[in-house]
């Protein structure tokens, strides 16, 4: 899908998620009150791949935790669309893969389905489909310690996708990987997103990653985090990091981060 089509489709789709005037404070170990987020506002359209870029400590992970229901906001509200495409069916891929070491890759992928009471044959069929999607067919009987770092992240993504989430949250999942593996997984994610038309909110501190993945990029300010600027990427896929349009946009986002 080209950039114009992405924007047109987004404008025609309803919002899966709306974040309205959200703020979050918490007490540090020393008792100091810290404002992590202040007056955060944005929406995520159905089928959109939205990226958020910001410096370490600006509240990006806190925001995802609020959306996932792990923490509660002090001010504002987070609204999910209702119906089969909306609701609070949210999957979360963390910075570090979350695989049970005593379960095989296949059984890790089926864990959420098992907790929901899905029949064994159906959940195993779903797991194999997801492992095909992420390129892990043939490793379903392996264990986490037998996989490379990139393969573990692929398995964690398959685990999240197996539950058919209406919203997939991703918190810097590729940050600890080498550059070549990261680029492979970025392309894998874009390919899955284009095939499945899922809705993804992806957080990163890497400008290049935000632009390679996102239809839009939200730039977060330093703490307290808020949406300081929004960029429509508007570049056809696959994106060329060396193209002038890409490097020009990279510079604009970098300047926004430094303001």
| pLDDT of the chain, 259 residues: tens digit per residue | 666 666 666 666 789 999 999 999 988 777 788 899 999 999 999 999 999 999 888 999 999 999 998 999 999 999 988 654 445 689 999 887 778 999 999 999 999 899 889 999 999 999 999 999 999 999 999 999 999 988 998 999 999 999 889 899 999 989 878 899 899 999 999 999 999 889 999 999 999 999 999 999 999 999 899 999 999 999 999 999 999 999 999 999 999 999 8
- Looking at 131, 164, 197, the residue that finishes a domain is 164
Whole-model pTM: value is: 0.90
The token pair that represents 241 in the structure block:
């990091």
Can you give the length of the chain in residues?
259
Question: In this structure, is residue 251 part of a structural domain?
Answer: yes
Quick one: which H or E segment has residue 248? helix 244-258
Q: Has residue 176 been placed in a domain?
A: no
How many domains, in total, are found in the chain? 2
**């935000």: which residue's tokens?**
210
Residues 6+ apart with CB under 8 A from 74: 23, 24, 25
Alpha-carbon Rg for the chain in angstroms: 18
Alpha carbon distance 136, 152 (integer Å): 10
The residue range of the domain holding 240 is 1-89+186-259
């Amino acid at each position: 899908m080209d950039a114009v089509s992405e924007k047109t489709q987004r404008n025609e789709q309803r919002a899966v998620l709306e974040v309205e005037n959200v703020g979050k404070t918490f007490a540090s170990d020393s008792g100091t009150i810290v404002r992590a987020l202040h007056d955060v506002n944005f929406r995520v359209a159905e089928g959109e791949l939205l990226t958020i870029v910001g410096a370490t400590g600006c509240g990006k992970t806190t925001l995802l935790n609020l959306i996932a229901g792990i923490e509660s906001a002090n001010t504002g509200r987070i609204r999910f669309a209702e119906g089969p495409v909306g609701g609070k069916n949210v999957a979360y891929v963390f910075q570090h893969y979350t695989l049970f070491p005593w379960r095989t890759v296949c059984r890790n992928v089926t864990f959420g389905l098992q907790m929901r009471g899905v029949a064994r044959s159906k959940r195993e069929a779903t797991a194999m489909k997801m492992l095909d999607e992420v390129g892990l067919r043939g490793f379903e009987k392996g264990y986490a310690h037998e996989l490379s770092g990139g393969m573990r992240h692929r398995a964690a993504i398959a685990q999240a996708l197996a539950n058919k989430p209406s919203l997939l949250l991703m918190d810097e999942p590729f940050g600890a990987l080498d550059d070549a593996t990261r680029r492979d997984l970025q392309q894998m994610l874009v390919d899955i997103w284009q095939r499945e038309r899922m809705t993804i909110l992806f957080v990163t501190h890497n400008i290049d990653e935000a632009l390679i993945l996102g239809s839009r990029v939200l730039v977060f300010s330093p703490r307290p985090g808020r949406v300081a600027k929004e960029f429509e990427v508007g570049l056809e896929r696959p994106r060329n990091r060396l193209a002038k349009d890409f490097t020009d946009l990279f510079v604009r986002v970098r300047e926004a981060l430094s303001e």
